[in-house]
Structure 1
Amino acid sequence: MPPPPPPLGRGRKRAAQTFDAALDDTELVAARAALAQGRWQAVRSLLARTGDDWDRRGHRVTVLAEESHAAAWAREWLLAEPESADASLLLGMALVQGALRGRDKPGPAREACRAAAALAPADPTPWLGLLLLERGLGGEEDVARLFDKVRHRHP
């Protein structure tokens, strides 16, 4: 009688089982690759096409903000378009990611998210950034207050 096969999981390459936060959003994957190369214009186009689909917008900006140089490219974008709510949002979310990872202080992330919220008052995404930050670093009262702000803009 032959020996039994090896248990599942052994001998398989784990690298083949990586998770991509972009899920199956091919437009997001392309924009993220462009952002990694400093081509923030692709992100501008993606977010413009996303419009007020708040769920998709929140997901896309969160994934883009995880790109290692997202804050630098967002600052460059803001130099070119100082009143861009999308550029301000990307900067805020990138700074939130940095603060949650311990690379940056949370103060500038809060300021950037509030600036993005001022540029686009109906957009819940800057408040989502603040919610993520406070959930990771703040207290329960702040989390509840910020959740209400998100829910008010996106019932």
Structure 2
Amino acid sequence: MAVYPATPTGACSKRTGSKLAKRSARSRSKTKEGYPSLRSWTMAQVRSKNTKPEIAVRKAAHALGLRFRLHRKSLPGTPDLTFASKRIALFVHGCFWHRHDCDKATSPASNVEYWTAKFDRNVRRDARNATDLRKAGWRCVRIWECETKDAKKLAGILRRKIASKPKAL
């Protein structure tokens, strides 16, 4: 194993691909200085992958013995989990962004026209992706953020929607 001497801050190192270099680059990108406003920075922190609800679904699915692939870009909508042997594409939707009928799907009080249009686009895109997946021979399953809070209920939902055999059409 090669040992490289420590370099002063800002100097180049032979360890450019190291975890330390990647970690420091990541932490610099999360600072607020590079954004035009605090709101812009706040919105940039909203993740689309590896969210807490998605990780809860992944853990529950794995505990049930289900094996899956993550974020298949070759499918419409880039499903969060795909079960290729069953041809099931699973989406873990946030209640706020995808307008579930629960308490989390509140609407912002400011800039109402923008948010209404934004939510409508999200819902239309979800429907279009589900239709495209069905046309490609995939079954589309949606799990809502509010359904991921209780692990036992989530396991039951996954068992019912994924592990069981689909009904004949």
TM score, norm. by length of structure 2: 0.28
**Structure with greater strand percent:** 2
Q: Greater Rg, structure 1 or structure 2?
A: 2
Higher helix share: 1
Q: Which has the higher contact order (CA 8 A, sep 6+)?
A: 2
How does the TM-score come out when normalised to structure 1? 0.30
